[in-house]
Structure 1
Amino acid sequence: MNAPTSIPSPDPAAARFAPSLPEWNPEADDALIVRAIRDETPDVKTFVLAPRSPCVFRYAPGQFLTLELEIGGETINRCYTIASAPTRPHTLSITVKRVPGGPVSNFLHDHIKVGSVIRAVGPMGDFSCLMQGTPGATPKYLFLSGGSGITPLMSMARTFHDLAEPRYLVFVHAARSPVDIVFRAELELMARNQPGHFRFAPICEADSPFEPWHGLRGRLNLGLLNHIAPDYKQREIFVCGPSPFMAAVREMLKTAGFDMARHHEESFDFAELAAAEPDVAAEVIEAEAAAKAAEPEVATYTVTFAKQNRSIECRSDMFVLDAARRNGVRLPSSCSKGLCGTCKSKLVSGTVDMKHGGGIRQREIDAGMALLCCSRPTSDLVVDR
């Protein structure tokens, strides 16, 4: 008697290729599972994320996610640009450089494993070759990246590569040494696959211990730029990297007479953003106070930051974050547009008028959370900061 024939069960992955999958909705389920972790360089890792239930991601290349992480008993929000391409919608990836002393990057590198759950909101942001640019311009681009700032530009390059779109793209990446060139092998493959349309031009400051560098050397300057892309003034330029790198590029292009309407930049360097928060000079505050005195009377409320044991005054026509900065209260922040969620805080008491750009979920608002960068007080406040 023949043994019964077993019917093979379908591979669980098959569900992720159903004809019509819903779009990932962080309002319904904000949990993402870490499916893979890849070492890009000695201090850079890529984390591949997927939803718990089969669905797809929709986003523009260059947009970012805001992660919500529990670290040392504290909830911390951080923005990370999506490095993957929307042309491959079943997963997305973030690529993170370990920063000495950085609480979030070190936590991700040391504690996140395959199978870990990360909560996120997004995608958000308008730094994208599909959302910015000169209308009717020739599809010629120049990408200038430094260090881990390569991620949004990599998402754009991957998208063009997958779509086989006729874009003329020069991709310049500045790194410390050859071993620090993120995505080097993939970018070299793109260049081989798109001769005449794509050029990859890495620049290194020094050799690696076991790999001398024979390519472009030093720091990006106008001489190197003219050598790499002599037609750069006819290109749409996208820039991302550490603040000093972006500032140097900005000044270089202005000096060269580049049309800065065709210059686009993005950065989420939180340590530098915090350090760069200006102290408002006393004379500026006095001048503003005099100007306000001439205006019709505006309600002023007391905002108390419970953990810092500080109280400040905030006018009803001023954002709480702005008032805090002017009074020397340091709070985490980044975009200042209600997009990234970095300044998300619990309101212990009081009410605000908040006009956000998507950086907070409705259920968080219902639970008393607010984005301080886009919230004006409508009563006295106590903030859990």
Structure 2
Amino acid sequence: MADGAREPVAGLIAAVPGPWTGEDDDTLVCRAVRRETHDVATFVLAPAKPARFAYEPGQFLTFAFEIGGETIHRCYTVSSAPTRPDTVSITVKRVPGGPVSNWLHDTLKPGGTVRAVGPMGDFTCFRHPAERYLFLSGGSGITPLMSMARTFHDLGVPRDIVFVHNARTPADIVFRDELALMARAAPQSFRFTPVVEADAPGEPWGGFRGRVSQALLEQIAPDFRDREIFVCGPAPYMAAVRALLAEAGFDMARHHEESFDFAALSAGEAAEALAAEAIEDAPKAAPARVFRVEFAKTRRVIECPEDMPVLEAARRSGVRLPSSCTKGLCGTCKSKLVSGTVDLQHGGGIRQREIDAGMTLLCCAKPTSDLVVDR
């Protein structure tokens, strides 16, 4: 091949000025789309300007997608490894009726652009070092654990990892070939065990079947009580793992879980709801000032005390708003303030220039006046 033909690729891996940060330029360019299963695809993204990604395996990015004239924020865990810093990948399952997943599968092609900030999150093996790990994933919850597995594989560090993935059928096992290859390359330190519920058309399954259970873990990883455990998947899957580990006498301080579930209350919201009920039952302190909050698009009006985040007041009033972490971290509840002021104590999910432009995070914005919110 002539030198000139290699020139464009060489330019992509040339020396770069520093790490990518959404604070400076939040535009990412799609470099490739890779089909993983019939309804799961990986989108490989690169900075619009030369830069490299720095993150911890298991962290996520918050995207702002422009779909149908509306900005929709979604969190997606990075499935690639920080050991390969020139691109970053997200792996997305098509959800029937899901506006973002269907837009990604149908619209985002190489050369297309998206906007993102991050990375963020503390669901990462780097913050919980151990000699032995057990990774448990269900469905598309495999992505953060795949990032961790890829990282250990690339670094070649001696870690004993058992990776158990639950899928509906063999055809639904995401990253199946790559995980099997990793297991063959390091049989003493990496074991991959897929577990399915049913056969796939034309592929009867001879491996483990069923759903996650203590009996299953005893077979696959008899020493699971001595491992650091990371879990990601649908809420019912994670609840089942939590219950079986507690019943098995596992030290839950070594249990770590992550999930973004936009169809139901997040764990954070549920915890806030319980805390709120406890507060309501406690002796009443001096009454707080109450402000009027109007949601401009839906024309809903609620009342919000000055000491309560707008998102919590909306939830109590039956107004559902996009949210995930409820800690001011992910940016999912980012909204435009049409009028009014708030006390905003966030965790990094919003940039200063967005605040200056009138944006806020409803999960951690407490009103200091009447508000009109563009929702």
Cα distance between partner residues in 2 of 1:287 and 1:370: 26
% identity of equivalent residues: 67
CA contact (8 A) 2:269 2:326 kept: no
Quote the residue 1:247 is aligned against. Answer: 239
1:8-19, aligned counterparts within 5 Å? 8=4, 11-19=7-15
Quote the residue 1:355 is aligned against. Answer: 345
Quote the residue 2:299 is aligned against. Answer: 309
SS in 2 for 1:151: helix
Quote the residue 1:378 is aligned against. Answer: 368
Cα distance between partner residues in 2 of 1:315 and 1:220: 43
Partner residue of 1:222 out of 210, 214, 227: 214
Residues 1:89 and 2:68 are matched in the alignment:
no
CA contact (8 A) 1:274 1:332 kept: no
Aligned-pair CA distance for 1:145: 0.2
Quote the residue 2:106 is aligned against. Answer: 110
Number of residue equivalences: 372
Partner residue of 1:56 out of 45, 52, 57: 52
Q: Please report the RMSD computed on the Cα atoms of aligned residues, expressed in angstroms.
A: 2.2
Amino acid at match of 1:271: A
SS in 1 for 2:332: coil
Q: TM-score, normalised by structure 1?
A: 0.92
CA contact (8 A) 2:268 2:326 kept: no
Cα deviations by residue, 1:3-45 (Å, 9 ceiling, x for unpaired): xxx9958712323333453111212211100000000000000
Unaligned runs of at least 5 residues, structure 1: 1-5
Aligned-pair CA distance for 1:285: 6.7
Aligned-pair CA distance for 1:323: 0.9
Residues 1:23 and 2:19 are matched in the alignment:
yes
Residues 1:345 and 2:341 are matched in the alignment:
no
Quote the residue 2:136 is aligned against. Answer: 144
Partner residue of 2:157 out of 159, 162, 165: 165
Quote the residue 2:175 is aligned against. Answer: 183
SS in 1 for 2:363: helix
Partner residue of 2:253 out of 261, 265, 281: 261
CA contact (8 A) 1:305 1:384 kept: yes
Cα deviations by residue, 1:78-118 (Å, 9 ceiling, x for unpaired): 00000000000000000000111111111111111111101
Quote the residue 1:200 is aligned against. Answer: 192
CA contact (8 A) 1:15 1:54 kept: no
Quote the residue 1:37 is aligned against. Answer: 33
Q: Cα distance 1:20–1:48, how it changes in 2: closer, same or farther (>3 A)?
A: closer
Larger Rg: 1
Partner residue of 2:63 out of 60, 67, 88: 67
Q: Cα distance 1:253–1:290, how it changes in 2: closer, same or farther (>3 A)?
A: closer
Amino acid at match of 2:286: P
Q: TM-score, normalised by structure 2?
A: 0.94
Cα deviations by residue, 1:254-299 (Å, 9 ceiling, x for unpaired): 1111111000000012113379977x99xx879728733xx23422
Cα distance between partner residues in 1 of 2:165 and 2:3: 52
Aligned-pair CA distance for 1:317: 1.2
- Structure 1 residue ranges, 4+ long, deviating more than 4 angstroms after superposition: 6-10, 274-278, 284-287
Unaligned runs of at least 5 residues, structure 2: none
